[in-house]
Amino acid sequence: MARAKDVFAHFMVQNSYSYSQAEWETEISKAKETGIDGFALNWIPPYCQSPNLSWQMDRIADAFAAAEELGFKLFHSFDMAYYPGGPGCSGTGWTAELIADQLNTNKDSSAMYKWNGAILVSTYAGTNYGNDLFRGVKDQARSRGFEVSIAPALTDFAQDAQRIAPDQCARNLINQFPEIDGFFNWQAWPLDVPSNLTAQADVEFKEALKSTGRTGPYIMAVAPWQFKDLGGDSWVQNSDTLFKYRWEDAIDTVNPDIIEILTWNDYAESSYIADLPPKSEDGPGSVQLFDQGNYVYGMSHAAWRTMTSYYIQWYKTGSRPTVTSDHAVLWYRPYPKSAQSSSGNGSSSVRNSAGPQDAVFIWALVSKPSTISTSVGANYGILFDVHEASVPTMYRVDFPRDFVVDIHPMTAVLRDGTTVQAADGKTPITKNPTWTNMNAAVVGAGPLVLTFGSSSGTRRAIPWTA
């Protein structure tokens, strides 16, 4: 029988080259503390490039070993943006045999995630491979003695649903891909528009699966941010309040079978919630980010796991959890939109750069009515009252109109004349950036992981570290 209400985080296996099983255990432990049930393992066809990427198979083996030890789940998300003759793939892409062989390797693992008794298979992209590949995967799996449930992220349909009628996109998906059992809507942020994303496409895709009798899961993506600088192409999407409203749309409007967080560790797209890798880019746990490290290092997103913890509990139980700890999560970009960096593309070359607001955003969640105090340079000691406990509240404090010295935003939870929790941003807001950077720096006041009242169970809190 299907287990609904599970939460996975998309994990980029490409960023695990230096991992041993110990690094996998560390990542899994942090995800579990947050309430995440498993990782969706995104990996590139191993023989698509030269030198080949067969090392990914060894890292996946270590991931399964670690997950088995820690009671964590995994499923494969085959990266089908790489296909023969396409960008970055001069060799062999995915084949039904290769996919089935890899699934067969871990089919009996306690860590392998199954949907209605079938191994869940997902993708990133896949339209270029066509429906025949999915039919072939099913045939190859059956020949090896197991069943699969295929819920791909066919991104062409997800993006089209932001531009044209989403109900028509959902019908097109079902008609063109009769072999899929479920669907993963990858589009978790607005697509090149200065407005918030609605959940209408999710509603239509979910209903299309149900109305046509598909037995696979509907997977909804939730993301905290989106900025990428590829040198020749650079973009940002409207992410100022994305993480809060996308989670709440998932819970209140869509109620998907699975929520997938985009992502755990896609540093290059600024959409991570994992701890930052070592800046040395060498040694255990390191990631080679090259120029992209200029907009990642120093930009911690770990405090977004505090928000994740709350929303996961709400999603799984169906009601707002009672919290017994106090939190304020603050995030901001490191310079005003008008500032021009001396290296990188420069803000004016970033697609959609006019959209994000020059402001600090604060998400507060408290155990008792409190006051949140935030200072952003000359905008000092801005107070906001949170009247209701266990209900998240958001507000913003704008960057000062003019400032000379760098600014370190600060926030605090105040109650009965006492500072209960406080934190300041170590990454400054500057008018003289050295690199194009529309990533977010995220700061947490309070424990990194929430504690809940007895009605929702209790999760251990761990100390906040920057």
- The reported pLDDT for the residue numbered 346 is 59
Q: Where residue 44 sits, what CATH number does that domain have?
A: 3.20.20.80
Same domain? For 386 and 445 the reply is: yes
- The reported pLDDT for the residue numbered 348 is 65
Same domain? For 401 and 292 the reply is: no
Q: Which of 279, 297, 315 is the last residue of a domain?
A: 297
Same domain? For 331 and 293 the reply is: no
Residue 423 lies inside a defined structural domain of this protein: yes
Residue 348 lies inside a defined structural domain of this protein: yes
331: helix, strand or coil:
strand
Same domain? For 152 and 44 the reply is: yes
Same domain? For 101 and 19 the reply is: yes
- The reported pLDDT for the residue numbered 340 is 87
Rounded CA gap, 242 and 190, in Å? 9
Per the omega criterion (within 30 degrees of 0), is the bond before 411 cis? no
- The reported pLDDT for the residue numbered 461 is 37
- The reported pLDDT for the residue numbered 132 is 98
- The reported pLDDT for the residue numbered 4 is 64
Rounded CA gap, 200 and 155, in Å? 16
Count how many domains the chain has. 2
Low-confidence ranges of the chain (pLDDT < 50): 1-2, 455-466
Tens digit of pLDDT for each residue in 154-172? 999 999 999 999 999 999 9
Residue 436 lies inside a defined structural domain of this protein: yes
Rounded to two decimals, the pTM is 0.96
Residue 305 lies inside a defined structural domain of this protein: no
Same domain? For 134 and 263 the reply is: yes
- Residue 88 contacts by C-beta under 8 Å, 6 or more apart in sequence? 44, 48, 49, 82
The answer to whether 227 and 337 are in contact (CB under 8 A) is no
- The reported pLDDT for the residue numbered 233 is 83
Same domain? For 290 and 334 the reply is: no
Q: Which of 254, 280, 297 is the last residue of a domain?
A: 297
Same domain? For 141 and 197 the reply is: yes
Q: Which of 297, 318, 347 is the last residue of a domain?
A: 297
Residue 321 lies inside a defined structural domain of this protein: no
The answer to whether 425 and 408 are in contact (CB under 8 A) is yes
- The reported pLDDT for the residue numbered 347 is 59
Same domain? For 280 and 359 the reply is: no
For residue 105, CA distances in Å to 8, 65, 70, 101, 372 come to: 21, 12, 19, 6, 52
Same domain? For 334 and 279 the reply is: no
Residue 317 lies inside a defined structural domain of this protein: no
- The reported pLDDT for the residue numbered 341 is 86
Same domain? For 375 and 291 the reply is: no
Per the omega criterion (within 30 degrees of 0), is the bond before 51 cis? yes
Domain of 75?
A: 6-297
Residue 143 lies inside a defined structural domain of this protein: yes
Same domain? For 429 and 284 the reply is: no
Residue 276 lies inside a defined structural domain of this protein: yes
